[in-house]
Amino acid sequence: MNIRLEQPIDWLEVENLTREAFWNVYRPGCQEHFVLNQYRNNPDFIPDLDYVMEEDGRIIGHVMFSKAQITLNDGSAFPSWTFGPISIHPDYKRKGYGLKLLRYALDRAREMGVGLLQMEGNIEFYKHAGFDLASKLRIHYHDEPAENEVPYFLALELIPGYWGNREGTYCPPPGYFVADAQPDVFAAYDAGFPPKEKHLAPGQLPQFCKSCGKPLSKDDDCGHNTDGSINFDYCQYCSASSI
Ligand SMILES: CC(C)(COP(=O)(O)OP(=O)(O)OC[C@H]1O[C@@H](n2cnc3c(N)ncnc32)[C@H](O)[C@@H]1OP(=O)(O)O)[C@@H](O)C(=O)NCCC(=O)NCCS
């Protein structure tokens, strides 16, 4: 197993790996490969923390980091960092590779002066690398009431004392919202990859009909597009009435 910095020649392979890793995990299909594709031109992107992991002569893992900031309670901006997407190819999941890649990248980040990381993720994985609930450091999530303990919002002070006794609120950098901001550009980009079926599946983030708000938990709850494909944005009733 080898970990090294990503090179331009890896870009397409790594984006496809990211797509394979995230497909249908958090939503029908995924957006993370487009986030990565766009981030490489973003001034927040950190090329020196853009790692691939190789095994069996192929790239099986990847992680990228981004500059970020926390808005302190007095309104000032505090420099911070985040990371992701982090991907391990489905054939290599749950064999310890993800944790090895993450720990390696965190060590390099600390050496570079990255003092604090916060991100959304599953604590059952990230706790093994030292992450805990961000609320314990009094870092609040922009989308949730400040008094809430947000189970998916995690943080790690990489350099002890960097955050100190501050209090503030985090919103992910705009680079993470590119697919929603440019849906047509994203759709055209994704169409360049091998076809894959989208499905609603247990464990995904809650999905709702964009018209009536009804929860969508399985494919049959959704409507259809005129070409017969499933429309994951609308329930069968709203989709039918809009056609
Ligand atoms: C999440 C991911 C990077 C983890 O990498 P991995 O190589 O599969 O994980 P590891 O084998 O290193 O896991 C180490 C430990 O973390 C925990 N863990 C890992 N993935 C977990 C999951 N999905 N749910 C709960 N615990 C998990 C387990 O305790 C695991 O040990 P175990 O397998 O002995 O029980 C990888 O599964 C992946 O690419 N998933 C899809 C994309 C994704 O979700 N990325 C993270 C977005 S926040």
Distance of CA 28 to the CA centre of its chain: 15
Q: Is 21 in the pocket of ligand 1 (CB under 6 A)?
A: yes
Mutate to test the pocket of ligand 1, among 94, 120, 205 (most ligand atoms within 8 A of CB): 94
Report the DSSP pairing between strands 168-170 and 139-141. parallel
- Whether the pLDDT of residue 242 is over 70: the answer is no
pLDDT digits (tens, 9 = 90+) for 100-154: 999 999 999 999 999 999 999 999 999 999 999 999 999 999 999 999 899 999 9
Tell me what the mean pLDDT of segment 2-27 comes to. Answer: 98
- The model carries a pTM of 0.95
For residues 145 and 75, membership in a common domain is answered with yes
For residues 156 and 62, membership in a common domain is answered with yes
pLDDT digits (tens, 9 = 90+) for 218-238: 999 999 988 888 999 999 999
For residues 15 and 111, membership in a common domain is answered with yes
Q: Is 126 in the pocket of ligand 1 (CB under 6 A)?
A: no
For residues 169 and 235, membership in a common domain is answered with no
- Whether the pLDDT of residue 243 is over 80: the answer is no
Which CATH number does the domain housing residue 31 bear? 3.40.630.30
For residues 165 and 104, membership in a common domain is answered with yes
For residues 41 and 147, membership in a common domain is answered with yes
CA of 166 to the centre of ligand 1 (A): 31
Say what percent of the chain tops pLDDT 90.
Answer: 93
Q: Please state the φ and ψ torsions of residue 133, each to the nearest 5 degrees.
A: -60, 130
Is 199 among the domain residues? no
Is 42 among the domain residues? yes
Is 90 among the domain residues? yes
Is 194 among the domain residues? no
Domain end (from 127, 160, 179): 179
Q: Cβ neighbours of residue 102 under 8 Å, at least 6 residues apart?
A: 63, 86, 126, 129
Q: Is 98 in the pocket of ligand 1 (CB under 6 A)?
A: yes
Is 91 among the domain residues? yes
CA of 219 to the centre of ligand 1 (A): 26
C-alpha angle 68-44-50 in degrees, rounded to nearest 5: 105
For residues 231 and 139, membership in a common domain is answered with no
The SS3 of residue 127 is: helix
CA of 94 to the centre of ligand 1 (A): 6
- Whether the pLDDT of residue 53 is over 90: the answer is yes
Q: Is 87 in the pocket of ligand 1 (CB under 6 A)?
A: yes
What pLDDT shows up at residue 239? 82
Distance of CA 89 to the CA centre of its chain: 15
What pLDDT shows up at residue 241? 62
Name the one residue in this structure whose structure tokens are 């020196």. Answer: 48
Is 193 among the domain residues? no
> What is the domain count for the chain?
2
CA of 136 to the centre of ligand 1 (A): 23
What pLDDT shows up at residue 13? 98
For residues 227 and 124, membership in a common domain is answered with no
Is 188 among the domain residues? no
For residues 174 and 213, membership in a common domain is answered with no
Distance of CA 218 to the CA centre of its chain: 23
pLDDT digits (tens, 9 = 90+) for 79-107: 999 999 999 999 999 999 999 999 999 99
What pLDDT shows up at residue 71? 98
For residues 162 and 210, membership in a common domain is answered with no
The SS3 of residue 215 is: strand
pLDDT digits (tens, 9 = 90+) for 180-190: 999 999 999 99
For residues 90 and 153, membership in a common domain is answered with yes
Q: What is the atom index within ligand 1 of the atom nearest the CA of 87?
A: 39
Is 184 among the domain residues? no
What pLDDT shows up at residue 227? 86
Mutate to test the pocket of ligand 1, among 66, 125, 131, 154 (most ligand atoms within 8 A of CB): 125
Average of per-residue pLDDT values in the chain: 96
Q: Is 122 in the pocket of ligand 1 (CB under 6 A)?
A: yes
Which residues form the domain of 107?
2-179
CA distances (Å), 73 to each of 80, 113, 190, 216, 240, in order?
15, 24, 40, 37, 47
Q: What is the atom index within ligand 1 of the atom nearest the CA of 26?
A: 44
- Note the residue count of the chain: 243
CA of 125 to the centre of ligand 1 (A): 5
For residues 75 and 7, membership in a common domain is answered with yes
